[in-house]
Amino acid sequence: MSDIAALKQEKQELIGKMLEMQKQFIAYEHEHGVTGKDYWASTEGLLADYRQDYMDMANRVVDLAHEIVGSSRN
């Protein structure tokens, strides 16, 4: 597998994980409701690390996209 193919595969896997996280969040929100405090300051359950994990994955996806096409994030 080429480097570009590996980068594309990693990007697709991250996008898949992000979509799954969104589905879980929506299901959780429908079942329990989510307040701003829950979203921003939760220390347990689904929301404990949700924002940070999602943001880290989203940033990695952007970095991968730039790396794949040979551009930079400036």
The position carrying tokens 């992000």 is 18
Two tokens, residue 17: 């994980």
In the chain, the number of structural domains is: 1
Range of the domain at 30: 3-69
Residue 74 forms part of a structural domain: no
Residue 10 inside a domain? The answer is yes
| Tens-binned pLDDT, residue by residue, of the chain (74 aa) | 679 999 999 999 999 999 999 999 999 999 999 998 888 889 988 899 999 999 999 999 999 999 999 998 77
User: Is 16 in contact with 61 (CB distance < 8 Å)?
Assistant: no
The pLDDT, as a whole number, for residue 24 is: 95
Instruction: Determine, yes or no, domain membership for 45.
Output: yes
pLDDT at site 2: 77
- 37 within a domain of the structure (yes/no): yes
Is 56 part of a structural domain of the chain? yes
Rounded to two decimals, the pTM is 0.86
Q: What is the pLDDT of residue 74?
A: 73
Tell me what pLDDT residue 48 has.
Answer: 92
Is 42 within the bounds of a domain? yes
Assess if residue 58 is contained within a domain.
Answer: yes
- The reply to whether 49 falls in a domain is yes
